[in-house]
Amino acid sequence: MVSMGLAMAFPGLAQARVHATARGAREDLSLWYDQAAGPWVEALPVGNGRLGAMIFGRVAQERIQLNEDTLFAGGPYDPNNPHALAALPRIRALIDQEKYAQAAELIASSMIGVPQTQMPYGAAGDLLLDFDGMSGAADYRRWLDLDTAIAGTRFSIGKTRYRREVFASVPEQVIAIRLTASGGLLNFDAGYRHPDKASYGGTDYAGDESATSAASVPWDYRETLREQQRPAGLALHDDADNALLIEGRNIAEAGIAAALRYAVRVKVVGDGRIALRDGRIEVRGATAVTLLVAAATSYISFADVGGDPVATVRRQTDAAAARPYARLREAHVRAHQTLFRRLSLRIGPDAADTRPTDRRIALAGKQPDPALAALYVQYGRYLLLSSSRPGSQPANLQGLWNEGTNPPWGGKYTININTQMNYWPAQAANLGECVEPLLRMVEDLALTGAVTARQGYGARGWVAHHNTDLWRATAPIDGPLWGMWPCGGAWLCQALWDHYDYQRDEAWLRRIYPLLKGASLFFIDALVEDPRGRGWVTSPSISPENQHHEGVATCAGPAMDRQIIRDLFGWTQQAHALLQDGDAGFAAELRAKRARLPADRIGAQGQLQEWLEDWDAGAPEQRHRHVSHLYGVYPSEQINVRDTPELIAAAKVTLNTRGDKSTGWATAWRLALWARMGEGERAYGILQGLLGPERTYPNMFDAHPPFQIDGNFGGAAAILEMLVQSWGGEIRLLAALPRAWPDGALHGVRVRGGAELNLEWSQGRLRQLQLRGTPGQKFTVRHGGGRHEIVLDTRGRATLRG
């Protein structure tokens, strides 16, 4: 049924998708600049999930900075503290006695992992291309085309027109660099620079508008190869068929020995004279040259480092070199567009903005630029496709891209918000395949986390705390103020459940059910009775990264734990029923434990309590970046405007206290929360801050600062949330549409239940909605105060018109 005032029609949605593609061709899908990149956060990223590169677009010396997603430090290791289980009863007793500082001291000595840190993500070095005769460049432009996933540079010197293209090929698993000269010749040397430490400068760009203008780089700017500082184990070989082969080792860290070998191979194909000499490639007199770069490590799994990276890179570069460049490019673009073109978004007029991207960012919040928000969404989708593909590692704290061997916070997987946020846009943005690497990581964590559960808690199932790395470490790290939090693995399960909920793939559900069940078994065993009779709680725990008293975070049963476990038990119950698991005893335990999880509480200031006790008003950081106890609002739906208005009011009190300005990812979370609560103007104000120069670098990377990619992904998800929401068994349209976006179109967004929709609006009102799903499927749609029941026709389609 459809309510009065709306017409029902069933046009072919295939035709609508052609229209979406045509509209997508008019989208603003390019980042572009009129100067070369200075620092790394002005360079442009390409990636195929496994291989990444940052392109600087410099004239006299192009820099291609390389990454390979398994190049972490260390090797397989067991971080579990052997004293944990024996100390656990005493720690819990101290918490029950409200001796939190003493409990934290015992946690530090007995439960925190060995070592107390995990292994950092590294870089794979730089390819430096040194050109002769490059001065007086004119008509310069560099860009990243999101629709083709190709970064490019063009310029003229005299009568010669130069063009460069770089892309990371999924089909061939190489980075392809194409250099051409029209009306002249190419003469250059290619050399490899080994990875080293980088200077990240945590506040380089914060609050400095001038920093969003690309730094002026002289055309003859050149960096050094550091040939006299090569680390032990690094070797450069002149390989067969015009190829340079680099072999190296990863680094040791925190007492964990280096166990990985890595290899990089650069193969050159072109029409000039190509020679290898002393670890460099010389190209002379060419008009068109293709460099094919492959990188690999000996990593096979978190327990196996016996791979052969040299054989891998030789095979990949030789196979790519056997194909003409045009075919390599065509296959790359086709593989990318098959996924990327599923969704198009236009906010505001069709006309593209003619200003360079860095200048648009510098003026965000001062001049209307609705298309910048749409570009931010598509850039987030591009980054997710580029850093998380089936078969790769999941997107880490910097996605795939990292400049040095010492990335901020290790560049690993922080699973108390950041890794989860990386996957917030995956389903709605129609990139469900990108979750596959996360599934495989959780399957690994279920193995290593079973050891931590047994040795640390005497519990069944599996657990992971607030961080993990390539080696799938699951013990708490970083000390009791940060690491004593047992819900990281449980929260990761949300991305797995969401994939099922949006796709309705029974094979996926069968694969994730053992993970849900194992995570639930841990909490069935590890929850303890609150001594004041308030139900089952986690102990010990923290509310991630926040203190309830100065220097003390240790507690029992914080709000976020209760909310995550309530969701976990609920997902597991649903999966148990859908798959008809015959373990009735397990189902009964789930129901009983879930029923006695303490409810969310409202404190004396009217705020949503972060802890079981009403400590919020006295907590030392009133504007803390984490808003962990608002998990129940977003990404969960336990607290919502329809069912729990009093808790929504309390959540708003909390957010007003915390403030709208925070770190990049925390700003994105605030944006998502206000959007979920239907506060479009408040969300829009926060978005303007996120898009501006304090929180977005010139290349559109999110600024924590320094760079963390979760802000990009969280921001993209939140913008989509402003337009289409899918929770509580309903679809909500334009629920947080700000006045600044009166017109637009969103095609290809997915919703829960395994459907996708096209949406168009004008003057702030719905013009048309098209739904596609399973024939006979029922949906409830809310818009503008109305509630509409829709049944899909025999082709699985329906249309609403305003």
- Give the tens place of pLDDT for each residue, 521-553: 999 999 999 999 999 999 999 999 999 999 999
Question: Which residue(s) pair with 160 in the sheet?
Answer: 157
* CB neighbour class for 610 (10 Å; exposed up to 12, middle 13-18, buried from 19): buried
**Stretch 427-445: mean pLDDT, rounded?**
98
* CB neighbour class for 775 (10 Å; exposed up to 12, middle 13-18, buried from 19): exposed
Whether the per-residue pLDDT at 15 is higher than 80: the answer is no
Average pLDDT, the chain: 93
Provide the 3-class DSSP secondary structure of residue 134: coil
DSSP state of 268: E
DSSP state of 666: H
Whether the per-residue pLDDT at 11 is higher than 70: the answer is no
Helix axes 436-457, 84-96, angle to 10 degrees: 80
Q: DSSP H helical segments within 659-746, as ranges?
A: 664-676, 680-691, 710-723
- Alpha carbon distance 206, 703 (integer Å): 8
Tokens at 572, concatenated: 């597991």
- For 145-167, write each residue's pLDDT tens digit: 999 999 999 999 999 999 999 99
- Alpha carbon distance 656, 186 (integer Å): 59
CATH topology for 34-72+120-199+211-341 is Beta-galactosidase; Chain A, domain 5 (2.70.98)
In order of 90, 96, 196, 200, 618, the CA distances from 613 in angstroms are 21, 12, 47, 39, 11
**Stretch 448-465: mean pLDDT, rounded?**
98
Report which secondary-structure segment, H or E, holds 338. Answer: helix 325-340
Q: State the pLDDT confidence band at 25, using cuts at 50, 70 and 90.
A: very low
Tokens at 563, concatenated: 């909310």
Whether the per-residue pLDDT at 17 is higher than 70: the answer is no
What pLDDT shows up at residue 26?
57
- Alpha carbon distance 153, 214 (integer Å): 15
CA 202 from centre of chain: 20
What pLDDT shows up at residue 222?
86
| Residue partners of 392: CB distance under 8 A and separation at least 6 | 48, 49, 50, 69, 437
Q: State the pLDDT confidence band at 228, using cuts at 50, 70 and 90.
A: low
Whether the per-residue pLDDT at 271 is higher than 50: the answer is yes
Tokens at 548, concatenated: 């309830």
**Stretch 263-289: mean pLDDT, rounded?**
96
Biggest distance spanned by C-alpha atoms of the chain: 83
- Count of residues in the chain: 802
pLDDT over 70 for what percent of the chain? 95
Q: Torsions phi, psi of 758, nearest 5?
A: -115, 140
| Residue partners of 582: CB distance under 8 A and separation at least 6 | none
**Stretch 302-326: mean pLDDT, rounded?**
98
- Alpha carbon distance 246, 626 (integer Å): 42
Whether the per-residue pLDDT at 227 is higher than 80: the answer is no
What pLDDT shows up at residue 365?
81
- Alpha carbon distance 268, 318 (integer Å): 10
- Alpha carbon distance 310, 62 (integer Å): 25
Question: In degrees to the nearest 10, what's the CA dihedral of 336, 339, 341, 345?
Answer: -120
Neighbours of 717 (CB within 10 A): 27
Q: Which amino acid is it at 396? A: N
What pLDDT shows up at residue 349?
83
Whether the per-residue pLDDT at 53 is higher than 80: the answer is yes
In order of 60, 64, 240, 272, 702, the CA distances from 187 in angstroms are 11, 18, 21, 9, 37
What pLDDT shows up at residue 135?
87
Q: State the pLDDT confidence band at 218, using cuts at 50, 70 and 90.
A: confident
CA 61 from centre of chain: 31
What pLDDT shows up at residue 761?
98
**Stretch 657-663: mean pLDDT, rounded?**
95
Which of 151, 77, 118, 38 has its CA nearest to residue 407? 118
CA 488 from centre of chain: 16
What pLDDT shows up at residue 215?
60
- Alpha carbon distance 578, 587 (integer Å): 12
**Stretch 424-437: mean pLDDT, rounded?**
98
Report which secondary-structure segment, H or E, holds 384. Answer: helix 370-387
What is the bridge-based pairing of β-strands 413-414 and 186-193? unpaired
In order of 105, 228, 246, 261, 721, the CA distances from 233 in angstroms are 41, 14, 10, 9, 49
What pLDDT shows up at residue 368?
87
Which of 422, 447, 435, 424 has its CA nearest to residue 391? 435
Q: Which amino acid is it at 452? A: T
* CB neighbour class for 583 (10 Å; exposed up to 12, middle 13-18, buried from 19): exposed
Whether the per-residue pLDDT at 626 is higher than 90: the answer is yes
Provide the 3-class DSSP secondary structure of residue 343: coil
For the chain, give every domain's residue range. Answer: 34-72+120-199+211-341
Quickly tell me which residue has 């969704």 as its tokens: 343
Instruction: Report yes or no: 708 and 728 within 8 Å, Cβ to Cβ.
Output: no
| Structure-model confidence comparison of residues 227 and 365, the more confident one | 365
Q: Torsions phi, psi of 506, nearest 5?
A: -65, -35
What pLDDT shows up at residue 750?
98
H/E/C letters for each residue in 580-632?
A: CCCCHHHHHHHHHHHHCCCCCCECCCCCECCCCCCCHHHCCCCCCCCCHHHCC
| Structure-model confidence comparison of residues 277 and 474, the more confident one | 474
Per the omega criterion (within 30 degrees of 0), is the bond before 218 cis? no
Whether the per-residue pLDDT at 1 is higher than 60: the answer is no
What pLDDT shows up at residue 312?
98
- Alpha carbon distance 749, 733 (integer Å): 12
What pLDDT shows up at residue 366?
87
DSSP state of 34: S
Quickly tell me which residue has 């025999």 as its tokens: 794
- Alpha carbon distance 759, 761 (integer Å): 7
**Stretch 577-600: mean pLDDT, rounded?**
96
CA distance between the termini of the chain: 15
Q: State the pLDDT confidence band at 14, using cuts at 50, 70 and 90.
A: very low
Task: Give this prediction's pTM.
Answer: 0.95
| Residue partners of 319: CB distance under 8 A and separation at least 6 | 172
Q: DSSP H helical segments within 458-555, as ranges?
A: 488-503, 506-526
Q: Strands across the sheet with 30-33, in order?
A: 30-33, 138-145, 150-157, 160-168, 175-182, 288-297, 261-270, 243-249, 235-239
What pLDDT shows up at residue 204?
40
| Residue partners of 433: CB distance under 8 A and separation at least 6 | 339, 389, 390
Q: Strands across the sheet with 61-68, in order?
A: 44-47, 51-55, 61-68, 126-131, 186-193, 280-286, 273-277
Which of 121, 176, 200, 149 has its CA nearest to residue 400? 121
What pLDDT shows up at residue 200?
84
